[in-house]
Amino acid sequence: MNQQNADAGHSGASPQVVVLTVQNQFMKNYNYLVVDPSSRRAVIVDPAWQMEKIDRALIDAQANLCGILITHSHPDHIHLAKPIAEEYGCPIWMAKEETAISGFNARQLISIDTTPWTVGQLLIEPIFTPGHTPGSTCYLIGDNAFTGDVLFAEGCGICPNIQAAHAMFASLERLKARLKPQTRIFPGHSYGKPPGQMLSLLLKDNIYLQLPDKESFAAFRLRSGQDEAKMFSFS
Ligand SMILES: [Fe+2]
């Protein structure tokens, strides 16, 4: 387990981000526990695969889980949402557009728009970033952005077609405009770099943030010969 502290900026709190690496056969994901140090209230992002790791992280952090943030509805991002919502009696937040296209449902589900809300002193700001899926959403908490399968340190999420790639280009432009250079990026997966890289580093190294227009972006994102076997690599 890896813990990082970052300046919250907006809310005055300093969220603690606990990074959990979880795995199911070939699938490897990052789950993030975000804790408000003043109230010990916490949220978890995209919980999957290893309930015991999440339970243990909450005990170790002496945190009270108050909600589940879902970036998108793919199985490796929602796998434990319902069981955790039952165990801890907390809501599941997912963009209304993602709820609509996925059919995901749960007693605890709250379909959201981009209106921010607070958990303890954590200010949670959704940023609508379609492309990987039609309702993909990133969450900004202080100077930490939880980007699911939209933005990785080394690239961006798979886009199923040219319209999705155009949407992804606009979403990445939105993130570039909205986030600060020092914002730390916490993606759903890694392809080499550890989570928590600053946006300023990605702007320099990530080619998907450098393409000038949606046409060249789509041509590159949808190019042939990409190695999908590395899709879940943590190497
Ligand atoms: Fe995904």
Written as six digits, the tokens of 108 are 């605890």
CA–CA distance, 100 with 200 (Å, rounded to integer): 34
Q: What confidence score (pLDDT) does residue 233 get?
A: 45
Residue 208 neighbours by CB under 8 Å, 6+ apart:
151, 155, 156, 172, 217, 220, 221
- Residue 42's SS3 state is strand
CA of 72 to the centre of ligand 1 (A): 7
How far does the chain reach from its first CA to its final CA, in angstroms?
17
CA of 77 to the centre of ligand 1 (A): 7
Written as six digits, the tokens of 176 are 């570039």
- Residue 47's SS3 state is coil
| Whether 134 contacts 125, CB under 8 Å | no
CA triple 64-136-167, angle to 5 deg: 155
Which position has the token pair 């798979």?
A: 158
CA of 148 to the centre of ligand 1 (A): 7
> Is-above-0.75 flag for pTM?
yes
CA of 165 to the centre of ligand 1 (A): 14
CA of 37 to the centre of ligand 1 (A): 30
The type of residue at 203 is L
| Whether 176 contacts 217, CB under 8 Å | no
CA of 136 to the centre of ligand 1 (A): 9
CA of 73 to the centre of ligand 1 (A): 7
CA of 226 to the centre of ligand 1 (A): 17
CA of 158 to the centre of ligand 1 (A): 8
Q: What confidence score (pLDDT) does residue 12 get?
A: 55
CA of 230 to the centre of ligand 1 (A): 14
Question: Which residues pair with residue 138 across a beta bridge?
Answer: 127
Q: What confidence score (pLDDT) does residue 11 get?
A: 45
**Residue 44 CB coordination number (10 Å):** 27
User: In Å, how far from its chain's centre is CA 26?
Assistant: 20
Which letter, b or e, does each residue of 119-140 get, where b requires 16 or more Cβ atoms within 10 Å of its Cβ? Answer: bbbbbbbbbbbbbbbbbbbbbb
Taking CA atoms, 132 is separated from 129, 161, 162, 184, 218, in Å, by 8, 10, 11, 21, 12
| Per-residue pLDDT of the chain in tens (235 residues, 90 and over written 9) | 444 444 333 445 589 999 999 999 989 999 999 999 999 999 999 999 999 999 999 999 999 999 999 999 999 999 999 999 999 999 999 999 999 999 999 999 999 999 999 999 999 999 999 999 999 999 999 999 999 999 999 999 999 999 999 999 999 999 999 999 999 999 999 999 999 999 999 999 999 999 999 999 999 999 988 876 555 444 3
